[in-house]
Structure 1
Amino acid sequence: MGKTLEGRHALVTGGGTGIGRAIAETLLAEGAAVTVTGRRAAPLAEVQGAYPVEMDVSDEASVVAGIAAARDRNGPVTICVPNAGIAEGATIPKTDAEMWRRIMSINLDGAFHTIRACLPDMEPWGRVIAVSSIAGLKGLKGAAAYTASKHGMIGLIRGLAADHLGRGVTFNALCPGYVDTAIIDQNVDRISARTGMSDADARDVMVGLNPHRRLIEVDEVAAAALWLCSDAARSVNGQAIQIAGGEY
């Protein structure tokens, strides 16, 4: 039995680490040609078999040039995974305009730039799989700007799905809960510094935020992305799919 994604070209932003890397490696294993993008060359180079492109999703010119390079190397982009993002928390009184713009420019503008540059390649078959967050579906305390950016990503996906009905392209968002990545480690450090908790206790706080009392693994998110690329998901469109251990 052949690999399911042979002949497809997938582009994964933020593909050198965490969820993005897991998705890239999963799609590679199924035969896709994969381009991984990010601002740092070193993590990209560690994704064996992928084509690395340094690209800043907040800069439209960088995105256009990066995707052109990916297209020249691997052909038309038929699977677009806007995954690059940052997670920064602050209440609105402590969120200045610079922080607001930084979060929006990477999380939301970055998804817009990436999808827009890939769209010309995607008919008559294409998959857009945006990595949002459970914060795209509910309010995340102490992180209103981040929450707004992830809600905006889901709105973008739903609008695109409505615009492209019947044209062979599907648009969906993945909404993970708290995933075991470097972001968790950063949050643990912040909690420990703020409260004096041990790292183990601070990590338990993060684990407890998922209803099933464990961190999501990156392979769980990657498996959902792979399913959305499959023929079995050809009628799944405009959806925000929770991978959050029972959150609602």
Structure 2
Amino acid sequence: MQDRHALVTGAGSGIGAAVALALAQQGCRLTLAGRSHGKLQQQAEALRTQVPDLAVVLAPMDITDPLAVQGAVQLAQSQLGPVNILVNNAGQARSQPFVRTDAALWQQMLDVNLSGTFHVTQAVLPGMQDAAASGTPGRIVNIASTAGLMGYAYVSAYVAAKHGVVGLTRALALEMARKNITVNALCPGYTDTEIVQDAVRNIVAKTGQTEAQARQSLAARNPQQRLVQPLEVAHSVVWLCAPGSEAINGQAIAIDGGEQAG
């Protein structure tokens, strides 16, 4: 994976930050994408302390804005060449009973979690295809969720969007199957990130549970009785992008301690 150009969305924290580090350690050149330039800058500085010779570009973007995405991707490619690895990690979750889910919340969840994946992939894919045709394989990894594989109450819009990401993954994988590009989705269960921290605060506010009790209630869905760690997801990204994974295509792989097994 040495010198392959990897673009990671939502790279300023959580799973995205862990993925960026794991890919940097494999020798990739990195584009860090996200909404906050400050977070991306902090992440780039942290990465350089661990990988001193890292080639890294910051690409602040709103993934719901296709013109902003196109501009950021063009900037990144002008500096680091075509994107060979795309990790669509940026996402957002908001909880609301279905009867109180208004059109604005519904659209927001679709825009961020599904349309954002679509916009970034469309911007990256032409250059990735050209590079793949010349011998450098392309890898697209969509960070979905177990919510893309099953239902969860009170997050119907998020569940619908993540099911859409899994469907998009499978359809695009078939289109790319003969073009030296694979497309897969990783579906983490509750993971120790800012999204889960927000969920914990919501549970505390609505139920009166302590923070520890709320975290445990989320961890209890995992048969291992714990939250997934961002690095565990990052290691799976590396596995899907490394040599030897060429036959893994169109898959939605759960990282959930066995939740889907039940």
Indicate conservation of the 8 Å contact 2:221/2:259, yes or no.
Answer: no
Task: For residues 39-79 of structure 1, give each alpha carbon's deviation from its aligned partner in whole angstroms, at most 9, with x where no partner exists.
Answer: 11111112234321110000000100010011011111010
Query: Which residue of structure 1 aligns with residue 53 of structure 2?
Result: none
Q: Which amino acid aligns with 1:21?
A: A
TM-score by length of 2: 0.91
Query: Which residue of structure 2 aligns with residue 22 of structure 1?
Result: 18
Indicate conservation of the 8 Å contact 2:22/2:235, yes or no.
Answer: yes
Bigger mean CA offset, 40-49 vs 24-33? 40-49
**Secondary structure class of the residue paired with 2:259:** coil
Q: What displacement does 1:91 show?
A: 2.0
Bigger mean CA offset, 120-129 vs 107-116? 120-129
Residue 236 (str. 1) matches residue 242 (str. 2): no
**Secondary structure class of the residue paired with 1:108:** helix
Residue 113 (str. 1) matches residue 119 (str. 2): yes
Cα distance in structure 1, aligned partners of 2:194 and 2:38? 16
Cα distance in structure 2, aligned partners of 1:90 and 1:29? 39
Query: Which residue of structure 2 aligns with residue 88 of structure 1?
Result: 94
Q: 1:176 aligns with which of 177, 188, 202?
A: 188
**Secondary structure class of the residue paired with 2:244:** helix
Query: Which residue of structure 2 aligns with residue 215 of structure 1?
Result: 227
Indicate conservation of the 8 Å contact 2:220/2:226, yes or no.
Answer: yes
Residue 74 (str. 1) matches residue 101 (str. 2): no
Q: Which amino acid aligns with 2:209?
A: M
Cα distance in structure 2, aligned partners of 1:157 and 1:119? 13
**Secondary structure class of the residue paired with 1:140:** coil
**Secondary structure class of the residue paired with 1:187:** helix
Task: For residues 10-44 of structure 1, give each alpha carbon's deviation from its aligned partner in whole angstroms, at most 9, with x where no partner exists.
Answer: 00010111001100110001100010111111111
Residue 38 (str. 1) matches residue 47 (str. 2): no
Cα distance in structure 2, aligned partners of 1:82 and 1:202? 28
Indicate conservation of the 8 Å contact 2:144/2:188, yes or no.
Answer: yes
**Secondary structure class of the residue paired with 1:149:** helix
Cα distance in structure 2, aligned partners of 1:210 and 1:70? 38
Cα distance in structure 1, aligned partners of 2:222 and 2:259? 7
Residue 141 (str. 1) matches residue 158 (str. 2): no
Q: Which amino acid aligns with 1:36?
A: L
Q: 1:204 aligns with which of 212, 216, 228?
A: 216
Residue 65 (str. 1) matches residue 71 (str. 2): yes
Q: What displacement does 1:140 show?
A: 1.1
Cα distance in structure 2, aligned partners of 1:7 and 1:204? 41
Residue 166 (str. 1) matches residue 162 (str. 2): no
Residue 11 (str. 1) matches residue 11 (str. 2): no
Cα distance in structure 2, aligned partners of 1:71 and 1:129? 19
Q: What displacement does 1:200 show?
A: 1.3
Query: Which residue of structure 1 aligns with residue 103 of structure 2?
Result: 97
Cα distance in structure 2, aligned partners of 1:143 and 1:188? 14
The count of corresponding residues between Structure 1 and Structure 2 is 244
Which 5+ residue runs of structure 2 have no aligned equivalent? 49-55
**Secondary structure class of the residue paired with 2:19:** helix
TM-score by length of 1: 0.96
Which 5+ residue runs of structure 1 have no aligned equivalent? none
Bigger mean CA offset, 157-166 vs 146-155? 157-166
Q: Which amino acid aligns with 2:217?
A: V
Aligned-residue CA RMSD (Å): 0.9
Cα distance in structure 2, aligned partners of 1:148 and 1:41? 29
**Secondary structure class of the residue paired with 1:46:** helix
